Structure 1
Amino acid sequence: MDDMYVPRGRSRRFFAKVSNIHRFRVEMFISVIDLQLQELNSRFDEENMELLICVSCLNPINSFAAFDMQKLLRLAELYPKEFPTNDMTMTALRHELQFYINDVRQDARFGDLKGIHELSMMLVETNKHTTYNLVYLLIRLALILPVATASVERVFSSMTYVKNKLRNSMGDQLLNDNLVTFLERDLFSRVSDDDVLERFQNMKTRRMLL
């Protein structure tokens, strides 16, 4: 790796005189990481990054080393419908977090957990999800976040197929109906044509059978 880099199939004058380790570590490996970081920064704004950082505080690895009460309280503030700030919910959550972290760190059953999904299952198995119901609500919100995000991305991607140039003037209701049938096409493929015709026939009185 300390030898000089020799380009294959191209003239050496297009490449700087560097060692193999510099070529693969700096010009290739680090460059790829920089591109990935740029893509992540363009993909996730500051609010999304804050949300992900707060969610990571629920991670049970290494005896809940990532636990941070202030960030978890901030996570709750991002869901005002579930954790309204004008009542005692946030105060109750603060007290729950204090008792929760001391409890799970002392419980050996929570010592080998590998992720938030295992934490949620262990809370249910030990019946602690009823004791710390607000903390459990935070965990559930963290678990459904990737699914909800992927579902929204899936819908927006499907809109390019459903609402094209030929169907650009369709209304919202028709668009919603078409999106449902497009997204759930595996389910709707099991529905026979006769069932569809019977459904439309029964919607209102018609002069003839469809």
Structure 2
Amino acid sequence: MTMVRATKVELQSLREDKWETFLESVKNFCVENSIEVPNMNDTIPIRGRSRREGQAVTYFHLYRVEIFCGVIDIISREMENRFSETNSELLTCIASLDPRNSFLDFDHAKLLRLAQFYPNDFSLMDQELLGTQLNNFIFDVRSDKHISELKNIGELAIKMVKTRRHTAYPLVYRLIELALVLPIATATVERVFSAMKIVKSVSLNVKTTLSVT
């Protein structure tokens, strides 16, 4: 999540402060490859409009606003959609279950917060009991080198079942299960929406073709 935040900041910095540097790099590339570089103050008809409408923009506007900033804005919006404030918090909470380095990232408060994201799986009573189970769980697993040497949450889930800790700490194990299911659920939802977009586009094209025909 730190990398995601850093990328967002870098994109904003690129958009606001690095156009000139980027343009100079492109110009050098064009010169080296014998590609003509247009005068940024010259005008060009607005894309998608008839030349007879007389509406034009400068090459500077086309490349700076419509293309350079436009692409960065698309990337930024996509990152905001995938890593919204809620999603970012959720992923950060899940990271607290990472068993590497003797559960170095374990965070009691974040795991309690993670349970609050799933009110259907954790009642208020469960959330109260979870706090105690987490305290006992972390003391237990840090004392067992075979668990503290695990590399990921999947291995942790398997080890808990093998050692029957999933019955000793059922609420903690429930959190682990949810953490493992989340990426699959998210990917499934994204695929559904992608399929919906494809179907919608195809239907629209078909309707347009039929109306023209």
2:127 maps to 90
**Could you give the per-residue CA deviations for residues 13-68 of structure 1, whole angstroms, max 9, x where no partner exists?**
9xxxxxxxxxxxxxxxxxxxxx9777534531100100000000000011000000
The one-letter code of the counterpart of 1:117 is G
2:33 maps to 9
- Separation in structure 2 between the aligned mates of residue 39 and residue 159 of structure 1, nearest angstrom: 18
Greater helix percent: which structure? 2
Are 1:68 and 2:107 matched, yes or no? yes
- Separation in structure 1 between the aligned mates of residue 102 and residue 34 of structure 2, nearest angstrom: 54
Matches within 5 A, 1:140-155: 140-155=177-192
2:101 counterpart SS class: helix
Q: Per chain length, whose mean CA-contact separation is higher, i.e. which structure has more relative contact order (CA < 8 Å, sep 6+)?
A: 2
| Aligned CA-pair RMSD | 3.0
- Separation in structure 1 between the aligned mates of residue 143 and residue 150 of structure 2, nearest angstrom: 14
Matches within 5 A, 1:105-124: 105-124=142-161
- Separation in structure 1 between the aligned mates of residue 77 and residue 198 of structure 2, nearest angstrom: 29
1:79 counterpart SS class: coil
TM-score (norm 1): 0.60
1:177 maps to none
The one-letter code of the counterpart of 1:69 is H
Deviation at 1:160?
2.9
- Separation in structure 2 between the aligned mates of residue 149 and residue 55 of structure 1, nearest angstrom: 14
Matches within 5 A, 1:28-47: 40-47=79-86
- Separation in structure 1 between the aligned mates of residue 75 and residue 161 of structure 2, nearest angstrom: 38
1:194 maps to none
TM-score (norm 2): 0.59
Q: Point out where structure 1 has 5 or more consecutive residues left out of the alignment.
A: 14-34, 169-210
Q: Point out where structure 2 has 5 or more consecutive residues left out of the alignment.
A: 1-24, 38-73, 208-213
Distance 1:42 1:160, change over 3 A: closer
Deviation at 1:125?
0.8
Deviation at 1:165?
3.0
